[in-house]
Amino acid sequence: EIVLTQSPGTLSLSPGETATLSCRTSQSLTGSFLAWYQQKPGQAPRLLIYDASIRATGIPDRFSGSGSGTDFTLTISRLEPEDFAVYYCQPYGDSRTFGQGTKVEIK
């Protein structure tokens, strides 16, 4: 069973700043099969990134994903008010367990 560790738990930033979210896996992910999802209060999660670095349809280019092996990063440049939300990472090879989430809140 792959264990995911997302950090930090909460990120307090101002609009216009850059958010850097980390997702570490206990085992190396083959094929970089890792996705990122965004969830706003009262809404279903939405796919942002898949295959570690490919933006899903309609996702603005201020969202970028990177990494391989066991270390992955979601970067949100120039934070917009609508970007303040909870972000989850999820592998989808041998396991589909979600990370515990990182909350990006307004400072």
| Interaction site with another protein (CB under 8 A) | 31, 33, 35, 37, 39, 44-47, 50, 56, 88, 90, 92-93, 96-101
Nearest approach, Cβ of residue 31 and another protein (Å): 7
Distances (CA, A) of 46 to 35, 57, 107: 11, 11, 23
Tally of residues, the chain = 107
Q: Are 19 and 104 in contact (CB under 8 A)?
A: yes
DSSP calls for 29-72: EGGG-EEEEEE-TTS--EEEEETTTEEPTT--TTEEEEEEEEEE
